[in-house]
Amino acid sequence: MPLIGIIMGSSSDSRIMKDAAEILDKFKIKHEDQIISAHRTPTRLEEYAKHAEKMGFKIIIAGAGGAAHLPGMIASHTIIPVIGVPIMVYNDKQLKKSDNSKFSSFGGLDSLLSISEMPSGSSVVAVGINKAGNAGMYAIKILSNEFPELKKKLKLYKSDQHQTIVKESENLKKYGLRKFVEKKFK
């Protein structure tokens, strides 16, 4: 059974939200993924909250761009903790190929503020703009309180991170800054 519900306001958000799925898959945590629009499918949003409770989801990860009301609205319908992902909107469903103004006029800040500025007593946490991977990671951390095996895996993941940086630093020292950049990024 999936432990996490991933929802997003539009199919155009899926390219960002897939990062949450990627990290959950890496840790073998099942998730159910859906498109629910707070504005365009308001009744579906209410139904989804009931569905999430029935399914026993431990956490909901909700991503939306622009006037990003999805995370806050879903949180108002359930007590399941919600992690919001502000999305720097692509909006490319309506755009011609020649049009390059693909991003929100406010660079995702509109979405970040819509998600984080919840009224007192109604809480949603927000990760950084487009940081769906961090939402997945945070969900794993919460779950690890309940699942000791997961805690072990997380500790291993952290020590791998440490090793990677140490190795990179050794290479930086070995090659010098100019050569290191050439090797790594060109």
Point out which residues bind ligand RP5 (CB under 6 A): 9-10, 12-13, 37, 64-66, 87, 89, 91, 93
Q: Max alpha carbon distance in the chain (Å)?
A: 60
CA–CA distance, 130 with 88 (Å, rounded to integer) = 6
* Nearest CB to ligand RP5, comparing residues 9 and 84: 9
* Nearest CB to ligand RP5, comparing residues 71 and 133: 71
What are the distances in angstroms from CA 56 to CA 51, 84, 157? Answer: 9, 19, 27
The residue nearest ligand RP5 at its CB is 9
We find the least distance from the C-beta atom of residue 114 to ligand RP5, in angstroms, to be: 10
We find the least distance from the C-beta atom of residue 163 to ligand RP5, in angstroms, to be: 37
Sheet containing 59-65: give its strands across: 31-35, 4-8, 59-65, 82-87, 125-126
* Nearest CB to ligand RP5, comparing residues 15 and 153: 15
What are the distances in angstroms from CA 26 to CA 30, 88, 154? Answer: 10, 25, 11
* Nearest CB to ligand RP5, comparing residues 75 and 87: 87
We find the least distance from the C-beta atom of residue 174 to ligand RP5, in angstroms, to be: 44
What single DSSP character describes residue 37?
-
Beta strands in 55-112 (DSSP E): 59-65, 82-87
We find the least distance from the C-beta atom of residue 140 to ligand RP5, in angstroms, to be: 24
CA–CA distance, 49 with 41 (Å, rounded to integer) = 13
* Cα of 18 vs its chain's centroid, Å: 8
We find the least distance from the C-beta atom of residue 41 to ligand RP5, in angstroms, to be: 10
